[in-house]
Structure 1
């Protein structure tokens, strides 16, 4: 076989020259004779090239391509990588994503259009840049967020669709033509560490440092923070405070809540800590904190002494700032809850950045601007860009519970323009490495991400506490005295903050599967849920809900008991500033599971009860006798115009649920004696108007409700009996089974049957019912029965239990 191939090769070698010769003669007229015609220089984005033209036929060709100038080295470099970011460079939403920093070391602007950034060599364009420029000697940070959807109004923010691993990997920066222009392989990194590029004598080296995004890379030198000889707290007498730091450092401190630096007071010996109340009021007298005609304190307000200190080494490296709050001679606060909020005063009161004041633009407008063209005062700005760092110290009846750096924002709507504003307070990793409070402020919860400081007395929290056992979300609350930068600000309430974290904590649903709407607008979660809610509302408005199939459809989309509890509460406490679109917040899970709350149905959240139990001096028009069902208030229409109730009440099952629930609440949750007892546990000096309201509300509002639902029956007494509470109890309608500790009485309309369930305790079993003045509907021996009440007859219900053998 090999010999045959050699013979064939020899024969072909004889013919090839002949073929080439004849072919050359034949095609001579078709061979192009190109010569250089013109050179096109490359631009930043376009390739350069040379044009050639054939002298024989005029055909033009291009060759000798030159890459765009932005592709030429020296070029963009990967300057820093932070793959375990806890607290550095939060984005505008306050999230701390891992990040990659690019740097332009050249003296020209470079456009990144078409460049690729990736952590996989097999896919160099996992993220492709758009029309982004980096100016000479400037930086660009790319957040590595993976598939997470990030809402951003800042077009300069870049979110790459891959994530970094803290264990270490390689990153590639690639030209549009596929050429890798830079590569970095970083090691395992700890929280807030970065892998940084350094150039020393034209040699490139990489080191693990503390992250310095958007700045020149530098090695981090840790300086220990000053140590105080006394903790924040309450002290009866003056004392001397000592500060110490490591050898070779100096301490600087402030007394006015500003952040200390090397221009502050140098520590040279113990500091006298005394009662600061006799110092002049400073921050509490700032007049640009309100547009209302409010009175400011004329007398000296109580004050704490605030010490903020920092240590510097000989090279100017600084430690963290330490802040302490000292209450000297203020023992009256030891029996209350106290919050000391310390922040650089500029964060609150500076015209440019202060979140508590009118601000420059609004003040300029006040000097002669046109009506209707007023700019937003600073306190109306929202979002993370208007969040400020504060040191929050919390004392529970004199005991130090929490000291933590947290973020503060102004909260509310109309209340923003008042002297005493509300705050939202957030724990975030970039403040101190923790995204939860170091200690929850309420014993009932195990974890807390945020809370609210709400100006005013106990009213909001107390009213919510009355219905904390109902099928609506309520916020835990406690009273406190708030001090801002050392000055007493007023009485506030510490309250839970509604959020996806609240739902996760209380209902054990993954926060990523929760959506929340506030006043019909998306507060958190999936944008599709807004459409879903509006479709549900439209369905309720446009379908006959007396038809079972239609009503069942609504029940599949909304937790009707939650809706009923919400409306019954608002109506009974006479909240004249609420409607289905106003001061209403709802939530749902986006997934379904065996968790009874994870069923994708809407549930209601109670909040903003300022306009409840409404009574102005010498004005009782909207007090306990106000009919919210049929009358309009200054802030909202009556229930008769509410699309939920006006349409749902066409269904008889809903009417029964609403009427019985309303009476459950009236008889138990809002019982005048129960309310009064709970009120005196909250305050020794309750408002007379609140006691007066609950003493009178029942007689008026139950009649209004009966008229609105066109009830024909009578209001009759129902008494539950248990001979021995150790044997068992009775559950009535939606009320808790703990109400019957022997005997309980309430009033119900005879139009609808009530439901009772006998619940035997351990060691006992149910043995039957004894009922007078009413009829049992259905199986008389069942543990759960329906009871038909009779007009003009008092009803007595007794559950009988027997001891097990």
Structure 2
């Protein structure tokens, strides 16, 4: 039923690669070309034909046969395996080939020049043959000025620092050295935050001779960056032209309606003898005379190399130009994760987070929107294994592995906060939900709009919320891409489904067994929530469920992605998803995703509980007054931020459009309970009719059932005072009961109807008698 897990697929891929490698081993040894020597700080060693001293790379043919390098590739990015192609050139056995990494891109003349440069201690180099197979690589390490790094003797391992570089010649006689880069502390005179006036920023270190390099564009600084020689003037950027905000993120993208608000991002690093003496330090400064009041949301500032987000070859936020791979923003996996630096500023401007992280584009269909959701990862390779901060004030969790910066652009209703609203409304239900916090995001110092910071459902979420072993869970999914195994395996779930196929759950003994396999209360609330909010992007999509891999572990369903909710209040999904008419084409299209619900509803015990909970939530969780009150609260929270977001992303079209969209979901809140009540009555003949209403005191309760079930009716004032009680037993001959309120003033009353185990609360309006 379920596909192989991604982990198992990776293992299979590794085995295949090993087999392919063995098959190619003979040919690979016969034509062994290596990156023999490399220099990243060429001050005086060798000049090119222009008299410049760019970085250089030396290849060596360590085989005994000539090697044709035509259409081989050398690159500083493993994703761009077509970055710089070799011209028609043949290396003889034992020959050396010098290539300048100058960014001059020359394939003719005295020397070859690549289309990229090398940053000291930053860039790796990869060599691929004409088949796209990696032949050799150099993984970045610090090479001091005047030193090179390579094989000695030629073509052998290990590599080491060479005190006497030999470009284009043998390394065999070179003196080697052990390099221990110096350490120093880089200090900013002012931390990032909110400022009302311009100021001078000083950068300093503790040792004489240490040099400081910095950037202002979000990129990681190295020796090619600006050398710090005097204080940096940090001021308001009003009047500066838009930069990354003008990047076309998708074909339907529209530019901002004018100048976007900007901050100053300063990234700096200290160097000793061409080697970094410490980590890159990043601070973001927001300067505006009204800055303390400018934003009501906290700010999350992302700094990153421009090409990592917007480059045609490797930019994750744009369509890009990767033939055969499709749009960049649809690419996924670790290979499409980019290094970023994240700062989080509370509403008062205090910086609470400053940490290197990884970033990927998040979501499915929403990736094609101009503004995209971004998933951020804490990893040791970026600086820290966890993000240690209580991001959500109402959630007592103080460390996170992954967070989602969720864009409001995914909301089909363009309310900006609908999914967050629904997550808040269903907090009282027995569901696994994502904590959420609204924020404003900046990328490389430019306003990027409203995003909701969210928890992500993964193994770490379940470990922290339930105290289970993160490596011992089953986590499955159902989406438009098919069945998915996210963690663990699907054997337990498949066994449960097969059991149901072989046993009629109408029989209590079989239903009782299934209730030990899945969490019935959670399953019911999960389906009630999706059915009530009329989510038309479900259940064939956006369905996920998990269990701890223990003998007593039960399946639970997680609620997420309600962007397609609250649109059509008349949707009759309850009928569609509970139908058992096998000739119905709609039934067949939802057969797998609704299999559990349809079969469980055949059991009277489950059906009664399902109806009880549905009616309870209609009277409480989904009570129109409660939903509208919550909508109004969200509106007040978001209103101060909406105009700037629209100005940036042109979505919704106008502020007036946004207000109109909110009115639409208010109408949904008013109409949907009635629609759901009608569907429940039609399918299950619920005893919920009370008429006439308004009434002059005489009214009828229509049971709509022909069974002998005790009925208890109580009438309360809105202050909770019980004023009348009536007990009745229905029958085929008398399906309803008549009541009369006497000597009561006109007004609103609550009629509590207990019909067997079901309880309904109806409002009765009494006019003057």
Please confirm whether the aligned pair reaches a TM-score higher than 0.5, indicating the same fold: yes
Cα deviation for residue 411 of structure 1 reads: 0.8
Other structure's SS at 1:385 match: helix
Q: Deviations 1:439-469 (Å, cap 9, x if unpaired)? A: 1311312332111011012211220121123
- For 1:698-717, what aligned pairs fall within 5 Å after superposition? 698-708=673-683, 710-715=684-689
Q: Equivalent of 1:475, from 421, 427, 434?
A: 434
Give the structure 2 partner of residue 227 of structure 1.
187
Matched, 1:582 2:541: yes
Aligned partners of 2:391 and 2:398 also within 8 Å: no
Q: Equivalent of 1:624, from 549, 562, 569?
A: 569
Matched, 1:666 2:618: yes
Give the structure 1 partner of residue 228 of structure 2.
267
Matched, 1:691 2:683: no
Q: Deviations 1:79-99 (Å, cap 9, x if unpaired)? A: xxxxxxxxxxxxxxxxxxxxx
Aligned partners of 1:753 and 1:788 also within 8 Å: yes
- State the alpha-carbon separation in 1 of the partners of residues 195 and 435 from structure 2: 30
Give the structure 2 partner of residue 426 of structure 1.
377
Give the structure 2 partner of residue 255 of structure 1.
216
- State the alpha-carbon separation in 2 of the partners of residues 197 and 361 from structure 1: 33
Cα deviation for residue 385 of structure 1 reads: 1.0
- State the alpha-carbon separation in 1 of the partners of residues 302 and 704 from structure 2: 52
Cα deviation for residue 197 of structure 1 reads: 10
- State the alpha-carbon separation in 1 of the partners of residues 576 and 314 from structure 2: 45
Aligned partners of 2:754 and 2:760 also within 8 Å: no
Matched, 1:604 2:557: yes
Other structure's SS at 1:556 match: coil
Matched, 1:344 2:305: yes
- State the alpha-carbon separation in 1 of the partners of residues 237 and 586 from structure 2: 45
Give the structure 1 partner of residue 628 of structure 2.
676
Q: Deviations 1:502-556 (Å, cap 9, x if unpaired)? A: 00111111111212112164443322xx233233234434532101232123212
Cα deviation for residue 585 of structure 1 reads: 0.6
Cα deviation for residue 487 of structure 1 reads: 1.1
Q: Deviations 1:647-673 (Å, cap 9, x if unpaired)? A: 221110111111111112211112222
Give the structure 2 partner of residue 395 of structure 1.
345
Aligned partners of 2:216 and 2:266 also within 8 Å: yes
Give the structure 2 partner of residue 20 of structure 1.
none
Aligned partners of 1:348 and 1:354 also within 8 Å: yes
- Provide closer, same or farther for how the CA distance between residues 325 and 315 of structure 1 changes in structure 2, counting only shifts above 3 A: closer
- Provide closer, same or farther for how the CA distance between residues 259 and 199 of structure 1 changes in structure 2, counting only shifts above 3 A: closer
- For 1:75-86, what aligned pairs fall within 5 Å after superposition? none
- Provide closer, same or farther for how the CA distance between residues 273 and 199 of structure 1 changes in structure 2, counting only shifts above 3 A: closer
- Provide closer, same or farther for how the CA distance between residues 308 and 274 of structure 1 changes in structure 2, counting only shifts above 3 A: same
Aligned partners of 2:215 and 2:226 also within 8 Å: yes
- Provide closer, same or farther for how the CA distance between residues 481 and 794 of structure 1 changes in structure 2, counting only shifts above 3 A: closer
Give the structure 1 partner of residue 325 of structure 2.
375
- Provide closer, same or farther for how the CA distance between residues 641 and 260 of structure 1 changes in structure 2, counting only shifts above 3 A: closer
- For 1:167-566, what aligned pairs fall within 5 Å after superposition? 218-246=178-206, 247-287=208-248, 289-291=249-251, 293-329=252-288, 330-362=291-323, 375-398=325-348, 399-432=350-383, 434-443=384-393, 444=395, 445-456=397-408, 457-519=416-478, 521-527=483-489, 530-541=490-501, 543-566=503-526
Aligned partners of 1:544 and 1:550 also within 8 Å: yes
Other structure's SS at 1:701 match: helix
Aligned partners of 2:680 and 2:686 also within 8 Å: no
Structure ranking higher on relative contact order (CA contacts 8 Å, 6+ apart): 2
Other structure's SS at 1:678 match: helix
Aligned partners of 1:232 and 1:325 also within 8 Å: yes
- Provide closer, same or farther for how the CA distance between residues 319 and 491 of structure 1 changes in structure 2, counting only shifts above 3 A: same
- Provide closer, same or farther for how the CA distance between residues 300 and 749 of structure 1 changes in structure 2, counting only shifts above 3 A: farther
Cα deviation for residue 222 of structure 1 reads: 4.0
- Provide closer, same or farther for how the CA distance between residues 447 and 754 of structure 1 changes in structure 2, counting only shifts above 3 A: farther
- State the alpha-carbon separation in 2 of the partners of residues 396 and 641 from structure 1: 42
Count residues in correspondence: 519
- State the alpha-carbon separation in 2 of the partners of residues 539 and 582 from structure 1: 24
Give the structure 2 partner of residue 89 of structure 1.
none
- State the alpha-carbon separation in 2 of the partners of residues 250 and 572 from structure 1: 63
- State the alpha-carbon separation in 2 of the partners of residues 543 and 269 from structure 1: 80
- Provide closer, same or farther for how the CA distance between residues 286 and 749 of structure 1 changes in structure 2, counting only shifts above 3 A: farther
Aligned partners of 1:772 and 1:795 also within 8 Å: no
TM-score (norm 2): 0.61
- State the alpha-carbon separation in 1 of the partners of residues 524 and 345 from structure 2: 38
Cα deviation for residue 269 of structure 1 reads: 1.1
Other structure's SS at 1:440 match: coil
Cα deviation for residue 260 of structure 1 reads: 1.1
> Which segment drifts farther, 639-648 or 381-390?
639-648
Cα deviation for residue 224 of structure 1 reads: 2.6
> Which segment drifts farther, 327-336 or 398-407?
327-336
- State the alpha-carbon separation in 2 of the partners of residues 337 and 450 from structure 1: 19
Other structure's SS at 2:523 match: helix
Q: Deviations 1:126-159 (Å, cap 9, x if unpaired)? A: xxxxxxxxxx9xxxxxxxxxxxxxxxxx999xxx
Q: What CA RMSD, in Å, does the superposition of the two structures yield over aligned residues? A: 4.1
- State the alpha-carbon separation in 1 of the partners of residues 247 and 199 from structure 2: 31
- State the alpha-carbon separation in 2 of the partners of residues 559 and 410 from structure 1: 33
Other structure's SS at 1:420 match: coil
Aligned partners of 1:716 and 1:792 also within 8 Å: no
- Provide closer, same or farther for how the CA distance between residues 668 and 792 of structure 1 changes in structure 2, counting only shifts above 3 A: closer
- State the alpha-carbon separation in 2 of the partners of residues 556 and 471 from structure 1: 17
TM-score (norm 1): 0.59
> Could you list the runs of 5+ residues in structure 2 that have no partner in the other structure?
1-21, 23-59, 65-93, 95-131, 135-157, 164-175, 409-415, 578-584, 640-658, 692-701, 713-721, 730-752, 764-769
- Provide closer, same or farther for how the CA distance between residues 408 and 753 of structure 1 changes in structure 2, counting only shifts above 3 A: farther
- For 1:742-757, what aligned pairs fall within 5 Å after superposition? none
Aligned partners of 1:640 and 1:646 also within 8 Å: no
- State the alpha-carbon separation in 2 of the partners of residues 792 and 304 from structure 1: 57
Cα deviation for residue 639 of structure 1 reads: 9.4
> Could you list the runs of 5+ residues in structure 1 that have no partner in the other structure?
1-44, 46-104, 110-135, 137-153, 157-195, 202-215, 363-373, 593-598, 615-622, 718-746, 756-768, 777-785, 797-805
Cα deviation for residue 278 of structure 1 reads: 2.2
